[in-house]
Amino acid sequence: MRVYTLFFTILFSLHSLAQDKVELKDGSFINGQVTSVRPTSVSVKTKFAGTIKILTKEIKVVDIQSQLYGELKDGRSLPVSVKLKDDNNWDIRTFEESGGQVLKIQDMMQIKDQIANRKYWNFELGIHIDGESGTDDEFNSALVFKAKYGKQQNRLTIDFKAEYERDDHERSANEYTGKILYEHDYTESDLLYMLSLFEHDEFEKLSLRWEQILGWGHFFFKEADTHLQSKLGLGSRYEKYFSEDGEWTPIGDFAIEYKNTLWEYVELKDTFYYRPDIDDFSKYKIENDLHIEMPFAYVDNMFLRFGLLHEYESNVPSDNEHLDTTYYTSLIYKW
């Protein structure tokens, strides 16, 4: 029994000492352990420099001895073999007879050196600082919170933002906004969604705006690092200003969202929506939110977001501006 134990101990030790080798096009070599593979880069844990990222276009040959696991979008994690082809694309296969099943890296959540402990809930908490021109010209700060749930074809997003400011012992901002979005993918490129929004803004004289929308969405293209999506829906809006009675109105919903990951960890996102009143198309709201997000220095799970938000309402009280333009910066912690 001790002989067998010693044998497996030695075998395991030899396997743990095995190194992956990356040969670059400039002739240099990097030895270490490949910890993750992405469409455009490889992460290698080295003894001399910790974990480094190497662009795929800079690699000539990569010899991966470490066991890697691919996480599929349905939540399964499978052991895979990974090779770099001559055209700088990845050949990914499962360990099966007849060469295994060929997988596309764009159809996978991630490829790492350990079985993914998939989290279905993800959270964000941040401090939001903005400068606004329109009805009010001022700088404000806010607390933002987001929770996301995703499992197979279902996604749930909950957003909340609270903005409260005092200037010279007087209120200068008092606004609360929230969003609940549920999405269900019924094909690779089509989805159904339910959206609920609420808003209270004391300085816009808005007591309550509450919108509920049901609709259909379509992905024009959807890959691991980029997508273009449109949505079309119908719903209702309840709106009450301080000086007016509240009323219900049927509304339409048209939205376009573009998202692209630049330089692996820098994210660009642009969201546009148009919501008209069904019974009077001269009354509508347009919003365009463009932001870029990047890691904050070398702090894990911390991100900086810089954005520009345009909001236009055709029907507002006489002493309010139709267009509000907001420049904002957010410091966000994700877990």
139 and 269 part of one domain: yes
- H or E stretch covering 175: strand 170-185
DSSP string, 184-221: EESSSSEEEEEEEEEEEEGGGTEEEEEEEEEEEEEEEE
65 and 147 part of one domain: no
Q: What is the domain range of residue 168?
A: 121-334
Structure confidence at residue 306 (pLDDT): 94
Structure confidence at residue 322 (pLDDT): 79
Q: What is the pLDDT of residues 36-84, one digit of tens each?
A: 888 788 888 888 777 888 888 888 888 888 788 877 765 667 788 888 8
Amino acid identity at 245: D
Average pLDDT over residues 304-322: 84
Specify the number of domains making up the chain: 2
Structure confidence at residue 263 (pLDDT): 72
Bridge pairing between strands 154-167 and 138-151: antiparallel
CATH number for position 103: 2.30.30
185 and 301 part of one domain: yes
Direct distance between the N- and C-terminal alpha carbons of the chain, in angstroms, rounded to an integer? 45
167 and 303 part of one domain: yes
Say yes or no to pLDDT of 18 above 60.
no
CATH number for position 298: 2.40.160.40
Considering 90, 112, 134, which residue would you say is the last residue of a domain? Answer: 112
Amino acid identity at 248: W
Find how far residue 310's CA is from the centre of its chain.
21
Structure confidence at residue 15 (pLDDT): 45
What is the average pLDDT score of the chain? Answer: 82
Structure confidence at residue 97 (pLDDT): 44
Q: What is the pLDDT of residues 81-135, one digit of tens each?
A: 888 877 777 788 876 544 566 777 666 667 877 665 556 788 999 998 876 665 5
User: What is the dihedral sign for C-alpha 316, 317, 323, 325?
Assistant: negative
Long-range CB contacts (within 8 A, 24+) of 196-200: 199/175, 200/175, 200/176
Percent of the chain that is helix, strand, coil (3-state, to 5): 10, 65, 25
Q: What is the pLDDT of residues 266-311, one digit of tens each?
A: 899 999 999 999 999 999 999 999 999 998 877 778 899 999 999 9
What whole-number distance in Å separates Cα of residue 130 and Cα of residue 138?
A: 8
What whole-number distance in Å separates Cα of residue 263 and Cα of residue 146?
A: 25
61 and 21 part of one domain: yes
| 320 or 175, which is more confident | 175
Structure confidence at residue 168 (pLDDT): 59
pLDDT above 70 coverage of the chain, percent: 80
Q: What is the pLDDT of residues 181-192, one digit of tens each?
A: 999 998 888 999
State both tokens at 115: 């079985």
74 and 174 part of one domain: no
Considering 81, 112, 143, which residue would you say is the last residue of a domain? Answer: 112
230 and 322 part of one domain: yes
134 and 8 part of one domain: no
Say yes or no to pLDDT of 159 above 90.
yes
265 and 167 part of one domain: yes
Give 273's contacts (C-beta < 8 A, 6+ positions apart): 231, 253, 254, 255, 256, 286, 287
Token pair 């001895």 is found at 65
**100 bridge partner residues:** none
230 and 253 part of one domain: yes
77 and 128 part of one domain: no
Considering 112, 129, 151, which residue would you say is the last residue of a domain? Answer: 112
103 and 42 part of one domain: yes
